[in-house]
Structure 1
Amino acid sequence: MKILVTGATGHLGSLVVEALLKTVSAGDLAVSVRNPEKAEALRAQGVDVRHGDFDQPDTLAKAFTGVDRLLLISTDGDNETRIRQHQAAVNAAKSAGVGFIAYTSVVNAENNTLSLAEVHRATEQAIRESGIPYSFLRNNWYLENEAGSAQAAAQGAPWVHATNDSQVGWATRCDYAHAAAAVLTGEGHENSVYELSGKLRTQAELAAIVGEVLGQDINVQNVDDAAYADIMKGAGLPDFVVSMLVDMQSAIREGALAVESDTLEKLLGRPAQPLSEGVKAILGK
């Protein structure tokens, strides 16, 4: 059985490959990357490194040849670009005869009010229409998304957010990667939809965990959207990034990530990694 991971040199993809190599021989593992030179370390371990560029669909069709199970990791960029790239990947997978696609989506994709959910809804639909058996890995928020806040807090800055008491199912990127690896190597996951979340917590509760790791009290400030935008602009972020972050805060405030599920731990076969351990890794503790 040949398993292929796209974006294998990225943050999530590299962790998935690391997890797979613990249970799968390197000869049964392939990766599709835009820059093969960056994957030389994997090639040295015996992994089949293939060139696959989401903006060059012909490279994807070639990269996916002979693949039984594919992990399609969502790309970066604006929604229009990502939808186009993902559709190209699905078309290439169908053309290559891929037998199974696992796709990294977002929790409650059909109804999620996050702007990025549009990409995941479109991609899930494309995969369904392809007729290829699938598993949608609907990941909640990566703990690492809060690295900036944690690092700022370590320097004495307040923990600023605009989400009120809304909850988020944070988990470490490593846990999401291991769940993906479990689906790729397991049985009975065809045409499945997995809502993957850690324990639901508020921003204040996450800040308290960071404070425990740091051994200090963190000043948590819940502000409105306008104040949040001003603070982000004051931090030097460009306007388009500020607008994106404000939209995210608003959607989270409305409950976009308050999806409770124990499926992540079921796929892992163990408890999720404590967030304190993830925070230590972020802060280099």
Structure 2
Amino acid sequence: MLAITGATGQLGRLVIEALRQQVPASQIVATVRDVHKAQDLAKLGVQVRYADYTQPESWRDAFAGVNKVLLISSSEVGQRVAQHRTVIEAAKAAHVTLLAYTSILKADRSSLMLAEEHVATEALIQESALPAVILRNGWYSENYTMGIPAILQQGVMIGCAGEGRISSAPRRDYAEAAAHVLTHEGQAGKIYELAGDQSFTLAEFADYLSKATGQPMTYQNLSESDYIQALESAGVPAPFSMVLGNAETGAAAGDLLSSSNDLRLLLGRPSTPIDVTIKEALSEIAE
């Protein structure tokens, strides 16, 4: 059986969707903190099991009979290492044959604040001696497309990435890659640097959006501090605004750019270009 942590999250649901195309739903275990949020998965035949980071014993039951685990990094920045340790220890106790972990692109050499907890988690996995595979996911295209409504309203996209290029891909592509890894043997010991085939600057993103809508859009580059202040003025909480500002500065330094073709190889096709994801996001907004 294959267990997915954070199964009701944005990535988790997509991984389960991809897995259902390859294995019976009854062989998929969705571990969640709120089983009520996973009733739609249960109706599909997926095994829904309760597991909470604050209750280590809950993971023992969640991983009963499980062979492989996909540890999707926790969304609680600042608490991830302790939470991930709980899952890793439970996976070891369950004698799983493979632990897959969603890390961050170029984790071991990235300047992003977000990389710190991923590096620490990768170290915990190595120390555990579990058969493991690291999926270093690049930036999600949705990190930018989710801001399209505000960009359309203001007619300008702001950021502090300068001319930095971003090799992003939509979550669905990363989910398909994870499903491939879980359903194919010989993965233990591998580290995949997963990134989109095509890169873009934020100025190019604004241009793609302009062409897709027929409305003139521009990109305004700010200092990191001014960008953070703008985010907070728009209601983004202070800790998260700092993470976003740091990520943009990292993009300017090349931390979100990669020439790796690992994602393409796992998908068996090119990754989804940003202009396609922009058009899909606009279609959803119009619905």
**What TM-score results when the alignment is normalised by the length of structure 1?**
0.95
Q: Alpha carbons of 1:40 and 1:225: their partners in 2 closer, same or farther (altered >3 Å)?
A: same
Partner of residue 24, structure 1:
23
Q: Percent identity?
A: 39
State the AA in 1 paired with 2:30.
V
8 Å Cα contact 2:203-2:218 kept in structure 1: no
8 Å Cα contact 2:166-2:257 kept in structure 1: yes
Partner of residue 193, structure 1:
191
Partner of residue 87, structure 2:
89
Partner of residue 238, structure 1:
237
Say whether residues 1:174 and 2:169 are aligned partners: no
The 5-angstrom pairing of residues 222-233 of structure 1 reads 222-233=221-232
Partner of residue 161, structure 2:
163
> How far apart, CA to CA, are the structure 1 residues paired with 2:165 and 2:53?
34
What SS class does the counterpart of residue 193 from structure 2 fall into?
strand
> How far apart, CA to CA, are the structure 2 residues paired with 1:243 and 1:172?
23
Partner of residue 132, structure 1:
130
Partner of residue 57, structure 2:
58
8 Å Cα contact 1:65-1:98 kept in structure 2: no
State the AA in 2 paired with 1:219.
T
Single out whichever of 203-212 and 120-129 deviates more from structure 2.
Answer: 203-212
The 5-angstrom pairing of residues 266-281 of structure 1 reads 266-281=265-280
Partner of residue 12, structure 2:
13
> How far apart, CA to CA, are the structure 2 residues paired with 1:182 and 1:239?
37
Q: Alpha carbons of 1:86 and 1:165: their partners in 2 closer, same or farther (altered >3 Å)?
A: same
Per-residue CA deviations over 1:93-145 (Å, capped at 9, x if unaligned) read 00111110111000111111111111111111111111111111101100111
How far 1:148 moved relative to its partner? 4.0
Cα RMSD (Å): 1.5
How far 1:241 moved relative to its partner? 3.0
Residue ranges of structure 2 left out of the alignment (5+ in a row): none
> How far apart, CA to CA, are the structure 2 residues paired with 1:273 and 1:44?
30
How far 1:184 moved relative to its partner? 0.5
8 Å Cα contact 2:165-2:200 kept in structure 1: yes
> How far apart, CA to CA, are the structure 2 residues paired with 1:105 and 1:242?
21
8 Å Cα contact 1:158-1:218 kept in structure 2: yes
Partner of residue 39, structure 1:
38
8 Å Cα contact 1:30-1:47 kept in structure 2: yes
How far 1:208 moved relative to its partner? 1.8
> How far apart, CA to CA, are the structure 1 residues paired with 2:36 and 2:225?
44
State the AA in 1 paired with 2:109.
N
> How far apart, CA to CA, are the structure 1 residues paired with 2:6 and 2:32?
5
Per-residue CA deviations over 1:58-82 (Å, capped at 9, x if unaligned) read 1112111211111100001132x11
**What TM-score results when the alignment is normalised by the length of structure 2?**
0.94
> How far apart, CA to CA, are the structure 2 residues paired with 1:38 and 1:54?
17
What SS class does the counterpart of residue 259 from structure 1 fall into?
coil
8 Å Cα contact 1:170-1:200 kept in structure 2: yes
> How far apart, CA to CA, are the structure 2 residues paired with 1:239 and 1:49?
35
Q: Alpha carbons of 1:17 and 1:111: their partners in 2 closer, same or farther (altered >3 Å)?
A: same
State the AA in 2 paired with 1:120.
H
> How far apart, CA to CA, are the structure 2 residues paired with 1:220 and 1:169?
18
Partner of residue 217, structure 1:
216
State the AA in 1 paired with 2:244.
L
How far 1:19 moved relative to its partner? 0.6
8 Å Cα contact 1:200-1:260 kept in structure 2: no
Per-residue CA deviations over 1:200-246 (Å, capped at 9, x if unaligned) read 22111222222222222211111212322332233233333332222
Partner of residue 201, structure 2:
202
Aligned pairs, number: 283
8 Å Cα contact 2:114-2:243 kept in structure 1: no
